[in-house]
Chain A
Amino acid sequence: MRELVLIQPGRVLVGPSERESESCRAHREFEERLAECGPLVFRVAYGVLRNAADAEDVAQEALLKAYRNFGRLREPARFRGWLVRIAFRMALDRWRSAKRREKREMQRDLPEQIAAGPTVEELAVSSEFQARLERAMEELPEKFRLVLLLAAIQGYTLEEVSGMLGIPMGTVKSRLFFARKQLAEKLR
């Protein structure tokens, strides 16, 4: 007796074992990308959040999201670009919500803080320039900020940043130029 199999037009007919091996292959591919992109994603998130625990959370969430969408992100360059953007956005969202929370708490605890005041040691330890730089970075347009962060990550050239984000090299250079110029204006 012949077995008839109905398939949707345009779809490749795969049996259960083939489907299983396909998912194994996808899982293996993802594992390879994970080792390569995990640190990159963490660093992008850290560049925004400036907190290792939060950056780790964001990186894990972004990588999990990438796993869920891995079927349409097989191409390495596309995968990396997508992942970096998603991690950057997630980190920004988290940073914004943290800022809002911080603002609320500050307003609530304001009298106590004034009474306590920062200690001399605290003032000495805090790097004023770094704090100003962080504030200046926060004010940068997102597209400038992302290029600046990616270009600063060790081991990534401007060509790689261009490929990652899918934008021309000239655009990467111009964004970097404006980002640095704006930072300098704010910090001068």
Chain B
Amino acid sequence: MSCKRYQDKLVDARAGGEGALVGELAAHLRACAECKEFYEAQLHLFGAIDLGVREMVNETVPASLLPGVRALVAEVVIPRRMWSFSWGFVSVAVAAALVISVGVLRWSPENTSKQRDRSPAVVQGVAGGTGVKPVPRQVITAAPKHRSTEARTEVVPRGVVKTPEVLVLAEERAAFARFVTDLPEERDVAVAFTRPATDATDEGVEIALLQIDELEVKPLESSNRE
């Protein structure tokens, strides 16, 4: 094996941090002065490298390092707690504001009147009466929305009218109120009105074809006389 090969092996031995050389390498060093010199140079070089790297990293740690980290951590922790507190506060505030605004919108006079306008009025009259009875009072109210499930699920048997209800359009409400007020005087109408409707099924209605025997077309007369 040539000296070059031995020198490569010697470098590898030093780079690998091996201890004392043994075997063929050690024997060659004893016999070859050039390789021995080379090996001693490598020993110095690797020693200097190790020392240099150690000096490079084993610097005295500054005393301010850990207090500095603690201060940074405290800066992070406090805003985080503040954020969690403020988020809780904000969410409660938003929820409260929503509840209040919904309440205000729902119960504002404008909305209530709108709701009344939109929904048909109900006239509650006397139920089941067949004779003429004076209607003690006529109440025209906006139909309330059913909120409870009980109200929605209440089953009224077919044909039994507990409280007769009349749906009145908004624009006809005033006239209908007058009509109801005058109802006791209109005896026949009152009887018909206060009697429960019969449970009659709808039957098909036949409409006879329109027949026009004679059609005379006249010119329109001018309304402006000149």
Contacts and interface: CB of A to CB of B under 8 A. Distances in A.
A183 B49 contact: yes
A56 B59 CA distance: 11
Contacts of A177: 12, 15-17
B45 A149 contact: no
B11 A184 contact: yes
A52 interface: yes
A137 B49 CA distance: 10
Interface string B12-38: 101111000000000000000000000
A154 B58 contact: yes
A148 interface: yes
B72 to A, nearest CB: 5
B63 to A, nearest CB: 10
Contacts of B70: 34
Contact of B69 (A44, A64, A149, A181): A64
Chain A's interface size range is: 35 or more
A184 B66 contact: no
B53 A152 contact: yes
Nearest to B69: A63
Interface string B40-73: 0010011011101111111101101110111011
A52 B50 contact: no
B58 A187 contact: no
Interface of B is mostly: helix
Contacts of A55: 59
B52 A133 contact: yes
B66 A46 contact: no
Given A47-B57, A152-B54, A64 B73 contact: yes
Q: How large, as a class, is the contact surface on chain B?
A: 20 to 34
B208 interface: no
A152 B11 CA distance: 20
B53 A148 contact: yes
A50 B69 contact: no
Nearest to A179: B15
Nearest to A64: B72
Interface string A168-181: 00000100111011
A184 B42 contact: yes
A52 B77 CA distance: 27
A152 B57 contact: yes
A159 B222 CA distance: 117
Nearest to B66: A38
Contacts of A42: 59, 61-62, 65
A79 to B, nearest CB: 14
Task: Give the residue among B16, B53, B76 with the most A Cβ atoms within 10 A.
Answer: B53
B57 to A, nearest CB: 4
Interface in A46-91: 46-47, 50, 52, 55-56, 59-60, 63-64, 67-68
B80 to A, nearest CB: 9
28 contacts: A27-B77, A30-B73, A34-B70, A38-B69, A42-B61, A42-B62, A46-B56, A46-B57, A56-B64, A56-B68, A59-B65, A59-B69, A60-B65, A67-B73, A68-B76, A137-B56, A149-B57, A152-B56, A152-B57, A152-B58, A153-B58, A154-B54, A181-B12, A183-B49, A184-B11, A184-B42, A184-B45, A184-B46
Given A55-B59, A134-B56, A152-B57, 6 more contacts: A38-B66, A43-B59, A46-B59, A60-B68, A60-B69, A64-B69
Interface of A: 27, 30, 34-35, 38-39, 42-44, 46-47, 50, 52, 55-56, 59-60, 63-64, 67-68, 129-130, 133-134, 137, 148-149, 152-154, 173, 176-178, 180-181, 183-184, 187-188
Closest 3 A/B residue pairs (Cβ): A47-B57, A181-B15, A133-B52
